[in-house]
Amino acid sequence: MRRNILVLSAIVVALALMLAAGVMNFAQRRRAQQASVQAMKMELVPDNGQPGTSTDAAPGSDPDTGMDIPANDMTTPLNGRHAPNFTLEDLHGQKVSLASFKGHPLVVDFWATWCGPCKIEIPWFEKLHDQYSSQGLEIIGVSADDLDKGDPAKLFTDKRDISDFSTKMGMNYPVLIDGQSVEDQWGGLDALPTTFFIDRNGKIVASTVGLAPRNQIEADIKKAIGSGAS
């Protein structure tokens, strides 16, 4: 009799634990979903030539360009850390190491040809590169486009598409490819554009995920130039 009670109790406890696990999982997922919705509480605007609503635009209206940039709370875990080194190929097949830029304030911008907001940001980087190059600023664009490494013909096309895109965009700074191969060490790169601002000592002093207002990008560049200066 006692044995039966013991076994029954054990079964009841096990079932209760499983039920609790289910409830916990459900609650956890629900919280995450709510956070996700909260993080991107933006509504699509109809294409009527009226960009953004005042509430959407206000947090990120760009005084320089007049463009409306909705608020974006996403961030990377690398702020304040040393920039992870990488060696990637440029569009001419030359290996380029991040370490070779040490001593320069640096912007590392992860982008892709399929990324609309990246296309908005790239011309800003071109101008800012010209504007701050006298203070040592270097900018690197790292393409996160898929590369079909198993098929030489497709790989050639993939590289050519990136090259054509960067030419069309007039990118006046080094463009590296195969950014996906370093995404883990750079915080996952779950969303593009993702941009890191690095000081002369290789420390990440700021980062942005998603399109940031131009004045914020310029402020982060100034931070990278100012920080670590001797």
Partner 1 sequence: MKFVTVLVACLFLLAGAAAALQKLPWQSSDTPGGGAGQQLVHFLYPQQVTVQAGVPQTVEMHFRIANGLHINSHTPRQKSLIRTELIVAEPTGVKIATVDFPDGTDFAFPADPSQKLSIYSGEFVLKMHVSAQRGDHLIQGALRYQACDMTTCFPPRNAPVAVDVIAH
Binding site for partner 1 (CB under 8 A): 3, 6-7, 9-11, 13-18, 20-21, 24-25, 29, 32-33, 35-45, 47, 49, 51-52, 56-57, 62, 65, 67-70, 72, 74, 112-120, 144, 146, 161, 165, 188, 190-193, 209-212
Q: In the complex with partner 1, which residue's Cβ is closer, 84 or 123?
A: 123
Q: In the complex with partner 1, which residue's Cβ is closer, 104 or 214?
A: 214
Give the C-alpha separation, 191 to 10, whole Å: 47
Q: Smallest distance, Å, CB 173 to partner 1?
A: 19
Q: In the complex with partner 1, which residue's Cβ is closer, 43 or 148?
A: 43
Tokens of 138: 């270097």
Non-local (6+) Cβ contacts of 179 within 8 A are 88, 110, 142, 143, 144, 145, 189
Give the C-alpha separation, 106 to 127, whole Å: 15
Q: Smallest distance, Å, CB 228 to partner 1?
A: 29
Q: Smallest distance, Å, CB 126 to partner 1?
A: 15
Q: Smallest distance, Å, CB 57 to partner 1?
A: 7
Question: Counting every residue, how long is the chain?
Answer: 230
Q: Smallest distance, Å, CB 97 to partner 1?
A: 25
At 201, give phi and psi (nearest 5°). -90, 5
Give the C-alpha separation, 50 to 53, whole Å: 8
Q: In the complex with partner 1, which residue's Cβ is closer, 105 or 210?
A: 210
Give the C-alpha separation, 2 to 13, whole Å: 16
